[in-house]
Chain A
Amino acid sequence: MSMLQVKDLSIQFGGVKAVQNVSFNIDAGIVYSVIGPNGAGKTTLFNLITGVYKPTSGEITLDGEAIHGKSPNELAVRGVARTFQNLQICMNMSAIENVMVGAHLRLDRNLIKAALRFPGLKKRDRELRAEATQLMDFVGLGQYVETRADAMSYGALKRLEIARALAMKPRLIFLDEPAAGLNPKETIEVDHLVRKIADSGVTVVLVEHDMKMVMNLSDRILVLDYGKKLAEGTGEEIRKNPDVIAAYLGAHA
């Protein structure tokens, strides 16, 4: 059985049907990409699956459990992580603290114990700091550990979001345009990073406009257009699909 199953998923904002009757399955351990032109409903689809929006109709199941309508923090408990197309970084915190927040659910969060500085908490915090430092190295931000988030470049913040998501130790990670706004060199680095994440056993769902990156990384691809599913298949199948060629990839594919 597939890890994530989406069936007849729809959401309507007033008269706008942003996502209409979309169905697909994602198997564990693969890289699954969602492509389509701007406004096709890719980010809306992410927001639906990760609980930011509640669907108007349809079903989403994760390992057989219905998860539609659950809030983002309930999904986090189930090992679902995500990054955002328009950055959602806590600018009031340092870079490493942003990563440490990602480990929220794995920590003792008791208010009283924290205020009274119970023994063991500080030690756990130091371990966490070391772990977060490693993660920042992993995403290539080793030199930014103590930098304030508001002093970092856009490209670095994009990777900081990935590090924060990885700190959750997720089983399933949604990356919303991780290479958007990056220069070619940074894009290649993100490409390698996504590969490393997938190789570490995390199932990756990717929204990306960079076709080279999508074709290079994806095991399967879903094509959306005006909120509807246009095609789904391997990179090769998508490349050859006449509808897709006509609508998106154009002559250079």
Chain B
Amino acid sequence: MKKTYRIIVQTLLLMAFLLSGTPSQAEDRVQLRVTNPFENKTPVAVPAFHIAAASDHEKELATQAVTLLQETLAFTGYFRMVNPEAFLEAPSQTGITEQDIHFDRWRSSGAELLVTGSLTVSGQAIIGDFYLYDIFRQKSLFGVRLRGAGSPDENLRPLILKLADKIMVTYSGKHGFFGSRIAFVSKGSSTPKEIWTCDFDGYKPAQLTRNKAITLTPAWSPDGSKIAYTSYVNDKPDIFVQGAWPGARRDIVTAKGTTNITPAWLPDGQMMAASLTIEGDQAIYLLTQKGKIRKRLTRKWGKWGIDVSPVFSPSGDRMAFVSKRSGSPQIYIKNLNNGRIERLTFDGKYNTSPAWSPTGDQMAYAGFKDGHFDIHVMDVRGGRPMQLTLGTGDNETPSWSPDGSLIVFSSTRKGKSSIYVMNAYGTDQRQLVSLPGEQTAPVWSSNLNQ
């Protein structure tokens, strides 16, 4: 009797022990979800900007301003626009200053922030008075007067982008990316690949290089004034530097070596790094903009030690690059202070195009898995990569926005390759430019005019 009782107790304890282990393991997987700040977007209402005694053209300007501000705020991923149908007040009757704002009406409409303002066009200048209100706290967050000298049509966009940046700074404490531009490679049906640039939101794409030869891998100088790239102008790949405006002069950086590719800038904007073959093997060198070699950064690694695609951490103390030293292309990080090299990626057999986040702690890259390239992000100290794209063709060459909130990349999800943008957690993926031909290798500049 006593014996059976003991056996029952033993079995029960063992079962309890086993059961206590399993459910918590199952829970672990569920809890791997990352909290995404872009999931709960802040609803913003932008009813209308008033424009006094206006002509039809000026009224049209005010409407354009509202649309542009709505699109720009929505583009950041932090905000969503309250549907004008849900307004409980005629936009033309919305007050501008605090005492005229019916906070209760906007709260009923579900808005958390409200932007009001007025535009004044006088001759060759445009002046905007804008206000941002916190609907729940029923108070003004800022009132600002912005000026744009010159033709109102041309200055409306910079004026509204300044306003958007002011809203971003108030909202998140950080500057946005509204002064930044994106460079990319575009190939027409009969023309070779050339470098194009457009605004951060894909506005006004324009061809930059007219090399009439394959031109690849653009890299912005840290201040955004110049672009370095690889081009086959001299029938072999060489590095060039060119001002970031159409018609700027092109200067050759490297002449020696047969394969000189993938230029990158150091954060100081003076020195560059590139993958050169001046000593026979493909290795990364530190060089001046005039092409003077300062230092070899990766040492010879047998027959297969191909090192390409250097990219520097924001502080410039570390360099990430792609190397085939272990047999397959993988991303490595070299500490430039002590010269130590560590392998970063171990997941998958083909990981390329590293992009160091402006915050310095994340690395985005394109990894080959299950027959496709997809964008991954991982901690620069190592760990598990987070896959951001899935099942949408090949997604390659990621590049971060200057505030680190968005990632631009190329994708073949609609057949031909084009430029897409998503936020740093992989949501809100959308096409940035729609141009004929194929677009690849987008790179995001810093904020140019701030």
Q: Are A and B co-members of a single complex?
A: no
Binding site for B on A (CB under 8 A): none
